[in-house]
Amino acid sequence: MTKRPVKYIFIAGGVTSSLGKGIIAASLGKLLQARGLRVSIIKLDPYINVDPGTLNPYEHGEVFVTADGAETDLDLGHYERFLNKPTGRRNNFTTGKVYQTVIERERRGDYLGKTVQVIPHITDEIKRRIRLLEEEGNDVIIVEIGGTVGDIESLPYIEAVRQMTWELGKENSVTILLTLIPYLSAAGELKTKPTQHSVKFLMQSGVQPDILVCRTEKPLSDDIKRKIALFTNVRPDRVIEAIDVDSIYEVPMAMREEGLDRVVLEQLGIRGLPEPDLRSWEEFVRRMKAAAEPVRIALVGKYVELHDAYKSISEALLHAAVKHGLKLDLRWVNAEHITPDNVEETFKDIGGILVAPGFGSRGIEGKMTALRHAREKGIPMLGICFGMQMAAVEFARNVLGWEGAASTEIDPDTPYPVIDLLPGQKEADRKGGTMRLGQKEVTLRPGTRIREAYGRSRIKERHRHRYFFNEKYRDDFERAGMKVSAVGTEDGYTEAFELENHPWYVAVQFHPEYQSTVDNPHPLFTAFVEQAYKHKSLTHDKEKSK
């Protein structure tokens, strides 16, 4: 029996960035998966950094960590949340990584005698990396090309797509261009020219898009679709409208309505598949839209103006709220603005406080003020990674009375290094890719809130840190009421602690947010949101009876 060829879908973006290519890729993937196909999505990033691990969230948004320990683009988070299956290091690469491999090969002597060039050496390496996903038994591989058509740095990727579509043959690949049809209110008109230009640009590179997905604020008339088609050599029924919707989770349905999956399958010569089964997805969206009762959560971090910096956390909170039939009212609180004077006011109608991951000293005093408030006032609190580390510091300073207690990340000379470098980190002389990364098994202690939340004693969670809780202070913490509730199964590192005399104060070293999906809301977020809701109803009842 001959193996069926793997089919490829290339998605590029035109006109401007931020059109939601990642969501379109994930939604199309969802539709094809819901018809029974095995789908994987890969994101190609045209920048020179080897990975986004050393990038500031202001530059890049969240760094998404895969189970196998790669620091990747946040679009991989969308892929996982939509397709409900893990990605890995193969699902994302950058120009930096491609060049690094080619240059290492050159130094080894693999190209002896040859001049190493963008074409064919760089483009070959791009194609090799894309095709690695074929080994995972996929029917369809969706390739999302970062950046915008016309960027200098995207050129080798577009060239690789041109070569691949040629090599794969007509029925085995389809190229989609996501573009913008702006509405000019002064003229009262939708404008197609930027799209025409983007398509022309792509065609100059030898790539003819088969399908255009057009982001727009207003519906596209048949006339406009025909006009776009005429200028771009795309069939009018393959000019797909992607009108703005309220939530990213509505995009799969919107794309099904527009027939995106249908035209893709037609082009790929895949026939006879059932209609997409989106029942559980639709149920999620229905519940999300119907939820009226609010649950107010404060997310305390230092990049709060940029919501993308905490993408997986805000999505995990949403999944959990929808599971409880609640409407997530997420308040973004800038840690730098919190002071002992305004903390009461800041959190006055909040049900739960989440203290976010982070690096460096900016905003830590505010984080600790928020943590102290949650601890003393019995407000449910979930601390993640740096949030957990700051909870330890706050406890050491204010409960144990250890003046100057700190993480050595903040104060290398602290008399009480309650958070210190992980073993092996002192020797790490490079910043890139050297943290403790990826999935590790964690053992949960019986009789703890975290154990109750997960409903089992062994879990696997993803990590991204260089510092950890200093074991030598464990007894002092436990005696004073901060109990270690989870440890690394293999290394015994402290993975979580919680306060004894508090309704729900749980701090974790790992990142639960990466594993929450629409189909599988994360148990820790679900427990936290439930406690937050309970807390607020309790305080309301108290206030009413006053």
386 lies in the binding site for ligand GLN (CB under 6 A): yes
68-76, 88-96, 351-359, 394-402 -> range binding ligand GLN (CB under 6 A):
351-359
Q: Confirm whether 511 is a catalytic residue.
A: yes
Contact 489, 507 (CB under 8 A): no
Catalytic residue among 511, 522, 530, 535: 511
Closest CB 52 distance from ligand GLN, rounded Å:
13
Percentages helix, strand, coil for the chain (3-state, rounded to 5) are 45, 20, 35
CA-CA distance, 479 to 111, in Å (whole number)?
63
List, in order, residues 6 or more apart from 24 with CB less than 8 Å away. 11, 176, 178, 213, 242, 251, 255
Query: For the purposes of burial, counting CB atoms within 10 Å of the CB of 539, is it exposed (0-12), middle (13-18) or buried (19 or more)?
Result: middle
Q: Which is nearer to ligand GLN, 73 or 409 (CB)?
A: 409
Taking CB under 6 A as the criterion, which residues in 467-496 touch ligand GLN? 467
- Residue 13 dihedral angles phi and psi, to the nearest 5°: -125, 140
CA-CA distance, 293 to 9, in Å (whole number)?
41
Write the single-letter amino acid at 528.
Answer: F
Residues 147, 156, 358, 363: which binds ligand GLN (CB under 6 A)?
358
Q: Confirm whether 513 is a catalytic residue.
A: yes
Q: Which is nearer to ligand GLN, 87 or 389 (CB)?
A: 389
Contact 454, 508 (CB under 8 A): no
List, in order, residues 6 or more apart from 483 with CB less than 8 Å away. 445, 448, 477, 497, 498, 499, 500
C-alpha angle 348-393-513 in degrees, rounded to nearest 5: 65
Closest CB 462 distance from ligand GLN, rounded Å:
10
Write the single-letter amino acid at 244.
Answer: D
Closest by CA to 497, choosing from 481, 518, 511, 512, is 481
Taking CB under 6 A as the criterion, which residues in 92-151 touch ligand GLN? none
Taking CB under 6 A as the criterion, which residues in 441-470 touch ligand GLN? 464-467
Binding mask 302-341 for ligand GLN (x = CB under 6 A): ----------------------------------------
Catalytic residue among 513, 522, 530, 535: 513
Q: Which is nearer to ligand GLN, 389 or 515 (CB)?
A: 389
Scan for tokens 């406009």, then name that residue: 224
219-227, 268-276, 277-285, 381-389 -> range binding ligand GLN (CB under 6 A):
381-389
Contact 51, 433 (CB under 8 A): yes
Closest CB 408 distance from ligand GLN, rounded Å:
10
Binding mask 242-281 for ligand GLN (x = CB under 6 A): ----------------------------------------
Closest CB 525 distance from ligand GLN, rounded Å:
17
Closest CB 431 distance from ligand GLN, rounded Å:
11
Q: Which is nearer to ligand GLN, 105 or 466 (CB)?
A: 466
Write the single-letter amino acid at 260.
Answer: L
Gap between the terminal Cα atoms of the chain: 77
Contact 331, 296 (CB under 8 A): yes
* Bridge partners, 482 (sequence order): 499
Q: Which long-range contacts (CB under 8 A, 24 or more apart) does 158-161 make?
A: 158/12, 158/202, 158/205, 158/207, 159/118, 159/119, 159/123, 159/205, 159/206, 160/123, 160/126, 160/127, 160/130, 161/10, 161/12, 161/207
Q: Confirm whether 403 is a catalytic residue.
A: no
Q: Which is nearer to ligand GLN, 8 or 64 (CB)?
A: 64
171-179, 253-261, 312-320, 353-361 -> range binding ligand GLN (CB under 6 A):
353-361
Q: Which is nearer to ligand GLN, 95 or 509 (CB)?
A: 509
Catalytic residue among 71, 324, 385, 522: 385
Closest CB 409 distance from ligand GLN, rounded Å:
5
Closest CB 230 distance from ligand GLN, rounded Å:
51
Taking CB under 6 A as the criterion, which residues in 31-60 touch ligand GLN? none
Torsion (CA) 456, 460, 465, 466 in degrees, nearest 10: 90
Closest CB 96 distance from ligand GLN, rounded Å:
22
Closest CB 274 distance from ligand GLN, rounded Å:
42
Residues 111, 201, 231, 359: which binds ligand GLN (CB under 6 A)?
359
Number of residues that bind ligand GLN (CB under 6 A): 11
Contact 175, 208 (CB under 8 A): yes
Q: What is the DSSP-derived secondary structure letter of residue 511?
A: B
Write the single-letter amino acid at 354.
Answer: L
Contact 73, 94 (CB under 8 A): no
Q: Which is nearer to ligand GLN, 44 or 356 (CB)?
A: 356
The full DSSP string for 61-83 is -PPEEPTT--EE-THHHHHHHHH
Q: Which is nearer to ligand GLN, 281 or 467 (CB)?
A: 467
Q: Which is nearer to ligand GLN, 66 or 148 (CB)?
A: 66
Contact 43, 71 (CB under 8 A): no
Q: Which is nearer to ligand GLN, 182 or 358 (CB)?
A: 358
Closest CB 50 distance from ligand GLN, rounded Å:
19
Binding site for ligand GLN (CB under 6 A): 357-359, 385-386, 389, 409, 464-467
What are the residue numbers of the active site?
385, 511, 513
